[in-house]
Homo-oligomer: A and B are copies of this chain.
Amino acid sequence: MTQSTDADRDSALKSRRRLLRDTGMIGGAAVAGALGASEAGAADTDNLPPNAPEWMKTPGDPMGSQPYGTPSPFEKNVVKNIPKNLKQYLSASARTPLQDLDGIITPNGLFYERHHGGVPSVDPAQHRLMLHGLVDRPLIFTMDDLRRFPSQSRIHFLECSGNPAYTKPFGKTASDLVGLLSCAEWTGVSLKLVLQEAGLQAGAKWVVAEGADAAALTRSIPIEKCLDDAMLAYSQNGERLRPQQGYPLRLLLPGFEGNMNVKWLRRLHVTAEPAYSREETSKYTDLMPDGTSREFTFYMEAKSIITKPSGGQRLTTPGFHEITGIAWSGHGKIKRVDVSVDDGKSWQEAQLQEPILTRALTRFRLPWHWDGQPAVIQSRAIDETGYVQPTLAELLGVRGENSFYHNNAIWPWRIASDGEVTNAAA
């Protein structure tokens, strides 16, 4: 079945006999030394190209053997980062393995999870969204109703506000640290449009959103956000939402802390005052040094992390290594990412991957020649408002020792002389 011609093969064999030199930057082995298999091996089967590996010698798996595909078995360790030995898993979280991912899109199978009452199995045919309160026309929508509205699609990140907490141990990997973070292309209906359909009344200042999970998770959203870029989302990376992300309907509030993006959304109550629900009083509120509470901390501030090299990885050799990571801001676009390879003494501007989208992950990269000496590397994000990602010390100086949420500190990685990468702030 092969199309390799004799000329191809002759050329390949000749190339192995050439005197080769290694390359300056990264290399790849010179052909002569690295082919491994004997030349005789290539002649076992007339139709096979030189040194054909085992998997070329027999037909592969048939097309469509997986009606819904899954990753290669060789990637079986790339899974959600699930805490071991939790007391219970109903109010808990699972992290995205950021250090194993490229680009900005998180595949749906690895999207982070955070639940307060487990993952309900919601029948979309039975699911309803009620919109009531300070509106002219209270309404109840089926999923089919919502799918008939004009749609929109946008790429946005979602991040838990406790990502990570301020308390040690911070963890070993990028996932341990900030894996309550993912990014997807969302499709749904403009919440503004749906609110206009119902007719907002004077005095409508908040929308209290309620989920259809056993926790009936409830959060109050300022009306300004609801009339800006808020979305009633039913699809994620093309397909319908996954159960863990709110199937069949969730609220999407780009840039706002994760739990406000209420999953399994069943009710929107338009009110004059916030609900002061559990998730905005006993949780998701921080005690400040002066004894006051910092509440309604909606926006996720600018943040970044180097994912490669990062904790748990190892540089196998000195020489060229690309430093790459992700940056994001709840306030808009990432304007710049600086990277330091000398423990913060100096900073270089990283390259940002286009397109740079608002309230989405932005991939950054910096070429780096590692000299084999111990090093501390870190990144800091600057967003379009000019805000600069702070150090942990700076954050603690302002927020005190009792804050739990909204830790967006710079995170340094330590590289040992043997190439091992560890959390420099652990």
Contacts and interface: CB of A to CB of B under 8 A. Distances in A.
B216 A118 contact: no
Given A28-B139, A110-B239, A132 B3 contact: no
A67 interface: yes
Nearest to A281: B3
Interface in A327-370: 353, 355, 357, 363, 365, 367
B34 A4 contact: no
- A20, A92, A324 — most chain B CB neighbours (10 Å): A20
Per CB-CB distance, the 8 closest pairs between chain A and chain B, nearest first, are A60-B118, A3-B277, A62-B89, A2-B216, A102-B187, A3-B218, A28-B141, A64-B82
B68 A110 contact: yes
Contacts of A103: 153, 185-187, 235, 237-238
How many subunits of this chain does the assembly comprise? 2
Nearest to A8: B269
The dominant DSSP class at the A interface is loop
A4 B74 contact: no
A1 interface: yes
A151 B74 CA distance: 22
A113 B3 contact: no
Interface in A126-183: 126-133, 137-142, 144-146, 148-153
Contact of A60 (B90, B132, B242): B90
Interface stretch (A48-56, A289-297, A298-306): A48-56
A349 B80 CA distance: 43
Interface stretch (A206-214, A383-391, A404-412, A415-423): A206-214
A69 B111 contact: yes
Contacts of A89: 62-65
